[in-house]
Chain A
Amino acid sequence: MFRRKNPRKSPPITEAWRGITFTRRALVVGGAQVAVGTALAARMAYISVIDNDRYVLESESNRVNLTLVPPRRGWIVDRNGKALANNRVSLRIDIIPDRLHNKELVLGQLKTLLRLDGDTMERIERDLKAASGFQPVAVAEDMTEAEYSSVLVRLPDLPGMAPQRGFARNYPTGAAVGHLIGYVGAPNAEEYEKVRDPLYITPGFKIGKDGLEKYFQPMLRGKPGAKRVEVTARGKVVRELSTQADQQGKTVHLTIDADLQEYVARRMGRESGAAIVIDCQNGDILAFCSMPSFDPNSFSDGISNSEYSWLRADDHQPLINKATRGLYPPGSTLKPMAAIAAIEHGVDPSERHTCIGGYRLGNRFFRCLGTHGSLDMPSAIMKSCNSYFYWLADRLGYDAIAPTARLMGLGEEFQLAGSSQRYGTIPDSAWKLRKYDQKWSASDSLNAVIGQGYVSVNPLQLAVMAARIASGRRLYPRLINREFKNEPLPFSAEALATARHGMDLVVNGPGGTAGRSRLPLDGITMAGKTGTAQVRGLGTGNGKGGTWKFRDHGLFIGFAPVDNPRYATAVVIEHGMGGSRAAAPVAKDFMTFLFDREKAMAALEGFEAGWGGTIKDRMDRDYAAWKAGATTKPDPPEPAP
């Protein structure tokens, strides 16, 4: 340094200076290199020591692919443990988007292998766009073994494919339980947003969408299993590390009798309507049918657009549960109830009234369907004489009858698992004032007592009424084993006995309206009451023919056996043209089934031969015809006598 007194201004540039400068600068460069090297070492130490946990985790999540195994859904079984909804093995193929390296090629191959149609390809493309990462996208479900193995052997050429042996929901009796059980389906985006459960976006996982499947979803769901596999970056599985089995959902036991349920559904034939059977001992619902129905298997597999529009286009409304959501004027089926109300209000059941073919109220004449002559209460029920009940209603007023109707369950919304109900109207003067701001008139009472006018009920309520009349207790309908008090009805034994006697006569008396529907059994008889509800206003048209839509509804309530009631029922056949003609024969057959299966089955097979096969046969054919462009399905044939 002694030579450089003033180094900044003009250092002597010599070879010696250059040498020193070189050494100095080379050391600077070397030092810089050492510094960089140290920095690199520090960086490495930081990554591998301080961040070690994080990277070990990421390396594991790379290496190990955790897939959720959708849990097997709990079964829904009937009172005897017979499955109404169970699971079957389903072979499926999914795509893991992250591993799909050559989308066009793979999708093209799949399309030819599985013969996927344009709709499906479009859906897959759409799902792939929306999906991210390892979220699988369903390609095909319910494949045949042959299709499945054809993909399986080509798996090495189809990176990103994930074949899976899973389970699908199965409804052994198909359409017979459609409205009762509901159906399952893949969760939609909103349902996923609500819970944010990764299970919801796992292909093959289904949630209850309707009916009992939806109501019991938390019970039926089960716990998912998990599968840990070691995979390469291309998605090839190297080995399975561990598997945790899924936990099947709990079984739901229903009060339904599966055999009866299926029988009732089949016996409804081509008709549109509902039928319910209730156990008179405890309120158990044994059968709960609304027909025509949809096949819940179709919905659970993801129903096609065309099948759905077929169901929607049907004027028999297979998508509506008529048992709880169909409201009908109950017609004459309310007469036994009205009889009970009358006796409770002091009318002597043996008191006679003469039917002259109608009843005169002021200057109006209310027609009866016949001229029945002198009648006491039971025979008035037997003949379904309107005049007699017009006379009662005029005398008592409907405000005296409506409370009884409500005690019978009419107009009531029941707490029933998985059903949404329309509960209809039991009118009285207060109701009319509230609703229409009008005073109740005597003619309102006359219309109401024969179950027309403002009165509307659903089939379930009718069945409950039948069960309550039969048992004398306030039975509460139930689908699962829930405890209800079922306390006795506050009616005299005489009142109930008169109503039951009248209903007995309806079926078994001389000239009862349902005389043709006596049970073909020894020692067991059925009691009942027919009803015919006009679809158009009273007195317009005759409702006995013409366009299906304007024909009268046929209704029937009943119970059996007469002397120790065990089963109560209600049947509604839409536009069946009359209770004795359309509804009572159906009830006769399924009541027979409860006591003598063989006899009932023989009868059913006879009918089905005429209708064109079982429910499924007919639905398949109708659907095929609809798809082929056939205009409408034929009108229901004349109901069998």
Chain B
Amino acid sequence: MIPVPPAIQRFPWKLMALLSAITGFGLLVLYSAAGGNFSPWALNQGVRFLVFLSVALVIGRFPMRIFEDFAYLGYIGVLILLVAVELLGFVGGGSQRWLNLGFMNLQPSELMKVAIVLALARFYTQLPPGETRGWTALWPALVMIGLPAALVMLQPDLGTALAICASGVVVMFIAGLPFWWFGSAALAGAAALPVIFSMLHDYQQKRILIFLDPESDPLGAGYHISQSKIAIGSGGIGGKGFLNGSQSHLDYLPEGHTDFIFATMAEEWGLIGGLALLLGFFLLLRWSTRVALRARTRFGQLTAAGLTMTIFFYIAINLSMVMGMAPVVGIPLPLFSYGGSSMLTIMTCVGIILAIDNDSKTGTRRFH
């Protein structure tokens, strides 16, 4: 056997292979969506992936201490950025989601998906175990989730707001807050929704839907979803073959390289391609869940589980939307959809989880 240097051994090869496989598959789809061209999407996306993968590996080397220490600070910083975006948008006379930093457009709401998990994990790590069932375990968390969620809703970006809430609530859940809180909250919410909604007039209901997500008017959204279902459904089991998707190539499928890339893929690769991709995501989430389970610190546990939820939320909402089970909210498919912001978020998540993984391999378990 050739001796493998420890430095090389320490690389998470399996994880890198998994990420590369998912992204590589995505590159094939982007190549096809561009009509058999590396430009404008596939090449860009590939380069971006390599950069962000390196970033993730670097983040994975950070000691856990840093994340823990800077959790609140980072959260507050991102919150300020969100307010700044809101103010800029207000001044500019329109909704704005990003800050122009000169070299890139920074979308603070993406950062918030990570920051909220870190901040909540820190909060529940510090919380004395005895308080877990008390009021003090609840209201600071609700405030921490509610502030950024409200700010993002104002942008308005329903998808990201939901993602922030989902990740936050999952951290609260695994932190051990009483089960019935979640159960009754969910029940109350579910019971109240149709009642409230049905009390509204038709045009008000429509208005609310448009208010929640103004960029997708009902007709437009309906068109998106039906075309997406046609693309997936017509792919069948084996698909129409690479470069042979008519829905994407003839422009029937809107956003075929970003939010609806799954439909583009499914049309050409069929159910087999879809299941393969789902398997890839399953392996990724299984890895991060395992990291959470064997994390050395409580902070690591909560963070890893929360970030897993963040990644999962992307996947679940995107696929539900593409298959017509959820309204159209602009959420991309992790690693697959063309775009930098979401990839940055996902790779940051992966990097932090990797750091937790590395941490659990070095020290002894401690819970405080």
A residues whose Cβ falls under 8 Å from a Cβ of B: 13-19, 21-23, 25-27, 29-30, 33-34, 36-37, 40-41, 43-45, 47-49, 51-52, 54-56, 58-60, 62-63, 230-234, 238
Contacts and interface: CB of A to CB of B under 8 A. Distances in A.
Nearest to A36: B316
B129 A62 contact: no
The 8 residue pairs across chains A and B that have the minimum distance between CB atoms: A55-B233, A59-B234, A233-B251, A21-B176, A232-B250, A55-B234, A63-B246, A25-B174
Contacts of A25: 173-174, 176
Nearest to B251: A233
B271 A48 contact: yes
25 contacts: A17-B176, A18-B132, A21-B174, A21-B176, A26-B174, A26-B305, A29-B170, A29-B308, A37-B278, A37-B282, A43-B323, A43-B325, A44-B323, A45-B271, A47-B233, A48-B233, A48-B236, A52-B233, A55-B234, A56-B236, A58-B233, A59-B231, A62-B247, A63-B247, A233-B251
B134 to A, nearest CB: 10
A630 to B, nearest CB: 54
A598 B5 CA distance: 114
Interface in B277-318: 278, 281-282, 285, 289, 292-293, 298, 301-302, 305, 308-309, 312, 315-316
A36 B312 CA distance: 10
B176 A41 contact: no
A214 B251 CA distance: 45
Contacts, number: 144
B230 interface: yes
A59 B129 contact: no
Contacts of B170: 29
Interface in B308-367: 308-309, 312, 315-316, 319-320, 323, 325, 367
A42 to B, nearest CB: 10
A30 B271 CA distance: 24
B88 interface: no
Q: Main secondary structure on chain A at its contact with chain B?
A: helix
B189 interface: no
Given A25-B174, A44-B274, A231-B250, A18 B130 contact: no
Contacts of B133: 13
B168 interface: no
B182 to A, nearest CB: 10
B208 interface: no
B229 interface: yes
A26 B308 CA distance: 10
Nearest to A33: B312
A62 B232 contact: no
A395 B288 CA distance: 125
Given A37-B282, A55-B230, A59-B234, 8 more contacts: A16-B367, A22-B302, A29-B174, A29-B305, A30-B285, A33-B285, A41-B274, A63-B246
Contacts of A44: 232, 266, 271, 274-275, 278, 319, 323
Most chain A beta-carbon neighbours within 10 Å: one of B176, B230, B308: B230
B237 interface: yes
B270 interface: yes
B235 A40 contact: no
Q: Which bucket holds chain B's interface residue count? A: 35 or more
A125 B176 CA distance: 65
B252 interface: yes
Nearest to B233: A55
Given A13-B130, A18-B176, A47 B229 contact: yes
Given A25-B174, A231-B250, A56 B234 contact: yes
A407 to B, nearest CB: 73
A17 to B, nearest CB: 7
A281 B368 CA distance: 121
Contact of A40 (B175, B237, B292, B320): B320
A51 B236 CA distance: 9
Contacts of A45: 271
A233 B176 contact: no
Given A18-B298, A52-B233, A56-B233, A40 B252 contact: no
Interface string B259-282: 000000011001100110010011
A408 to B, nearest CB: 72
Nearest to B274: A44
A26 B292 contact: yes
A231 B270 CA distance: 23
B294 to A, nearest CB: 10
Given A14-B129, A26-B289, A232 B305 contact: no
A47 B132 CA distance: 44
Given A22-B174, A62-B250, A63-B246, A40 B319 contact: yes
A49 B325 contact: no
B323 A23 contact: no
A55 B232 contact: yes
A179 B303 CA distance: 90
B367 A19 contact: yes
Contacts of A15: 129, 298, 367-368
Contacts of A13: 129-130, 132-133
Nearest to B232: A47
Contacts of A16: 367
Nearest to B302: A22
Contact of B309 (A29, A34, A233): A29
A54 B233 CA distance: 8
A27 B170 CA distance: 12
A53 to B, nearest CB: 9
Contacts of B325: 43
Contacts of A60: 234
Contact of B275 (A19, A36, A41, A63): A41
Contacts of A51: 233
Contacts of B367: 15-16, 18-19
